[in-house]
Structure 1
Amino acid sequence: MRALVVYESMFGNTEAIARAVADGLREARDLTPDDVRLADVATMPSAEGVDLLVVGAPTHAFGLSRPSTRKDAQQRGPIRPGAAEVGLREYLNVSPSLTGLAAAAFDTKVDKPRLPGSAARRARRELRRLGCRVLVPPESFRVHGTAGPLLDGAVERARRWGAALAAALPAERRRV
């Protein structure tokens, strides 16, 4: 199995979750780093030759970030270099058809009860529009405040979610 985990991260929280998801995929299947690539969305990585595409982004204004919400994030604290330039929304908008590719989406979001919206739910819709087979429901990982840190246990939960994705892939392939 070859997987690509693409993430957008302003403050590093979504990147930490993406790394844990990639680790979970590797551990569940005894894969190498070459088998499970981790890529910042700013690099606009190609999904060619992968069996599974996992995408993750922070929830901004109830969905995927936009240039204006990334600019607003810059006002809330120091962001990662290059993080404001391109987001998951733009990556998915320029992606070619990904017909039949297994996929999953996750997000990070502020830990406030009843806060609506999810970048992962929007990403799932975009993945389906591109023809992907979404394996599991979108998953959210919570952060304290806009800049984080992640809630206790979030990284370990992301690792377990990555392992569950690895386990879901063969079952999904059999149904096709």
Structure 2
Amino acid sequence: MSTQPHPDAVTEQPAPATLRALVVYESMFGSTQDVAAAVADGLRAEGVVTELVDVRHAPPAKDATFDLLVVGAPTHAFSLSRPSTRQDAVRQGARPELASTGIREWIGAMGPRDEARGRAAAAFDTRVTKVRSLPKAASTRACHLLARRGYHLVSRPTPFLVHDVKGPLVAGELDHAVTWAREVAQAARRWRTGDADVAAS
């Protein structure tokens, strides 16, 4: 008896691996929050189960269930914010409660590298148009910190532009965020399933 499939038979393809993502953002004037929401939309469009959370309310990474971590933060003093730079933002009109913590502190509280085993990550930042090129911008620093803690980076650090410190976002950046997030989801899925060795440089 032949075991060859009929030439007209349709081979069932396995369903894409289900991914769970955690998007953690820090936002002082709302622009980074808007980008984070667009990123969450892009991930969900790729079938990723996604939780979006302000860093002030984010659980410790070791207590959260996710395969993909995306962090987003505004660029302060050419890097991730610090308590002093967040207080500067408050003096410029940001709500005081938003200055309580940031992405730098949240990543800094992560445990040993083995907690990140099998987890992918990506990072974005917001920055003003007049300083588009920043070698140590918030997303670059976040990626460095995440890689040191064992996360596998599936995207280069990615900026989104605002016209001024208080915004607004440059036209088209929310669409850019959705597109970028979909690419991140695809890269994370390829890495998780072993189809490609995806890494940021």
TM-based fold match above 0.5: yes
With CA pairs under 8 Å and 6+ residues apart, which has the higher RCO, 1 or 2? Answer: 1
CA contact (8 A) 1:71 1:84 kept: yes
Q: Closer, same or farther in 2 for the Cα pair 1:80/1:158, shift >3 Å?
A: farther
Unaligned 5+ runs, structure 2? 1-18
Are residues 1:70 and 2:83 paired? no
Please give the secondary structure, in 1, of the residue aligned with 2:56. Answer: helix
- AA aligned to 2:99 is A
- Give me the whole-angstrom Cα distance separating, in 2, the residues matched to 1:2 and 1:115: 32
CA contact (8 A) 1:3 1:36 kept: yes
**Equivalent residue, structure 1, for 2:40:** 22
Shift of 1:82: 2.1
Q: How many residues align?
A: 171
- Give me the whole-angstrom Cα distance separating, in 2, the residues matched to 1:51 and 1:100: 7
Are residues 1:44 and 2:58 paired? yes
Kindly provide the CA deviation profile for residues 109-137 of structure 1, in whole angstroms up to 9, marking residues without a partner as x. Answer: 01105553410000000000110000010
Q: Closer, same or farther in 2 for the Cα pair 1:37/1:146, shift >3 Å?
A: same
Answer with 1 or 2: which has the greater Rg.
2
Q: Percent identity?
A: 49
CA contact (8 A) 1:103 1:135 kept: yes
Shift of 1:99: 2.9
- Give me the whole-angstrom Cα distance separating, in 1, the residues matched to 2:144 and 2:131: 24
Are residues 1:83 and 2:101 paired? no
- Give me the whole-angstrom Cα distance separating, in 2, the residues matched to 1:84 and 1:136: 28
- Give me the whole-angstrom Cα distance separating, in 1, the residues matched to 2:132 and 2:20: 36
TM-score in terms of structure 2 length: 0.80
- AA aligned to 2:172 is G
- AA aligned to 1:53 is L
Unaligned 5+ runs, structure 1? none
TM-score in terms of structure 1 length: 0.91
Please give the secondary structure, in 1, of the residue aligned with 2:97. Answer: coil
Task: Output aligned runs, 1:12-161, within 5 Å.
Answer: 12-29=30-47, 31=48, 35-47=49-61, 48-77=64-93, 79-80=94-95, 82-97=97-112, 98-113=116-131, 116=134, 117-161=136-180
- AA aligned to 1:15 is Q
Shift of 1:104: 0.2
CA contact (8 A) 1:59 1:107 kept: yes
- Give me the whole-angstrom Cα distance separating, in 2, the residues matched to 1:166 and 1:140: 17
